[in-house]
Amino acid sequence: MIAFLIKRLMHAILVMFVISVLAFAIQDNLGDPIQQMVGQSVPESEREEIRERFGLNDPFLVQYARFAKNAVQGDFGYSYFYREPALEVIARHLPATLELVFAATLIIVLLSVPIGVYSAIKPRSPISRLFMGISIIGISIPVFLTAIVLIQIFAIGVTVTLFPESTGWGAWLNDFFSTEGNMPSFGRGYDLVNVVGNWDTNLATWNGLQHLVLPAVSLASIMLPLFIRLIRAEMMEVLQSEYVKYARAKGISMRRVYFVHALKNTMLPVITVGGVQIGTMVAYTILTETVFQWPGMGLMFLDAINRADIPLIVTYLMIVGVIFVVTNTIVDLIYGMVNPTVKLTGKPA
């Protein structure tokens, strides 16, 4: 276990090193910081002096060492736009993104497990087929399009006039398919509750939850089909295995066989894939937050790109790198714990 931890730690450090070199190279090659700091009228000689004073003429490695030293201490420089430390800007935007990811994950877990298990147990039932059909359509719809459709239906409203109004059932059908469109689709709302520090939560008030619904459903929509299909495929494989047949033959109730014996082994690959997908979710938050103007890290990153706010871009990349490395490590650890057959150290047992 200790050996595995050390090995993972070395791997994580290596990855972070690569990311930091890349991030620094970006910072080094993009734009001229002096130009961002001083006005047009400052003469070249003075600029050169500032450049010397800030050590911008030092060799690449010397500058990188300085950058790395500051970064390890949590100093990523100042955001050009916000005029405050980049890390603080990120810290202020982080809770919004984390709440969005949390809500989406909740939706995914609550829906994918029952649907996946059901469609594995009864693969030929019409309901399973319906779910599988919906899930492949879901995979084919990009997340921002889901978001736009949700906005159209639930925030703007749809008036259907397809059926003839004159007949009773026509009017009823029109009514049935029309939506009012009163869901909020913009930002986090006014009713946020401060939990601690700069963490304002959406989860405590009705208004906050209302604002969270559409973004969270959009974000969940991209992963949900993948998980349903994965759980179904793994569960069907497990149901074929000898120990499940044996458990059945022993006369254990089917519910127990499905949910205690089979589900445990189904969840193993789901955990690994799930860890990787959390990383993917971070990428999709950029899209979701853009559509809903959700003031999280993703929207901040996109704004930073459009404003060429290099320190903020670099800090975002580093922080996202840390999130990825940490989740991957945790997933490996959990996997090792729930599946004792995995050799964590890589040595022959």
Partner 1 sequence: MSTTNNSSPASASPSRWERLRDSYIWYSFKRDRTAQLCLAVFICMVIAAFASPLLAPTNPYDLSQIDIMSSELPPFWIDGADERYALGTDAQGRDLWSIVLYGTRVSLLIGFGAVILQALLGVTFGLMAGYLGGRVDTILMRLADIQLSFSTLMVAIVVGALVKATMGSAFYSQYAVMMLILIIGLAEWPQYARTVRASVLAEKNKEYVDAARVMGLRSKRIMFRHVLPNTMSPIFVISTVQIANAIISEAALSFLGLGMPETHPSLGSLIKSGFDYIQSGSWWITLIPGAVLVVLVLSINLLGDWLRDVMNPRLYKG
330 forms part of the interface with partner 1 (CB under 8 A): no
> Which CB atom, from 6 or from 18, has the smaller least distance to partner 1?
18
Nearer to partner 1, 177 or 199 (CB): 177
How far apart, in Å, do the first and last CA atoms of the chain sit?
A: 13
> Count of residues binding partner 1 (CB under 8 A)?
43
- The torsion angles phi and psi of 201, rounded to 5 degrees, stand at -105, 145
Q: Is residue 104 within 8 Å of residue 216, measured between CB atoms? A: yes
Could you tell me the CA-to-CA distances from 261 to 154, 234, 243, 272 in Å, in that order?
41, 13, 9, 19
Strand blocks (E) in 4-97: none
Minimum separation from the CB atom of position 244 to partner 1 (A): 20
Under 8 Å between Cβ of 203 and 209: yes
In the bound state with partner 1, the residue whose beta carbon lies nearer, of 117 and 147, is 147
Taking CB under 8 A as the rule, does residue 223 contact partner 1?
Answer: no
Whether 143 and 284 have beta carbons less than 8 Å apart is answered as yes
Cα(192)–Cα(205) distance, rounded to whole angstroms?
A: 7
- Other C-beta atoms closer than 10 Å to the C-beta of 190 total 10
Q: Which is nearer to partner 1, 204 or 279 (CB)?
A: 279
**Per-residue exposure over 56-92, b if at least 16 CB sit within 10 Å of its own CB, e if not:** eeeeeeebbeebeeebeeeebbbbbbbeebbbbbbeb
The only residue of 145, 209, 213, 333 in contact with partner 1, by rule CB under 8 A: 145
State which of positions 288-317 bind partner 1 (CB under 8 A).
290-291, 302, 305-306, 308, 310, 313, 317
Interaction between residue 170 and partner 1 (CB under 8 A): no
Toward partner 1, which CB reaches closer, 78 or 284?
A: 284
287 scored as a contact of partner 1 (CB under 8 A): yes
Q: Which one among 123, 189, 269, 295 touches partner 1, defined by CB under 8 A? A: 269
Between 263 and 313, name the residue whose CB sits nearer to partner 1. Answer: 313
Residue numbers of the site for partner 1 (CB under 8 A)? 15, 18, 26, 29-31, 136-137, 139-145, 148-149, 151-152, 156, 269, 276, 279-280, 282-284, 286-287, 290-291, 302, 305-306, 308, 310, 313, 317, 320-321, 324-325, 328
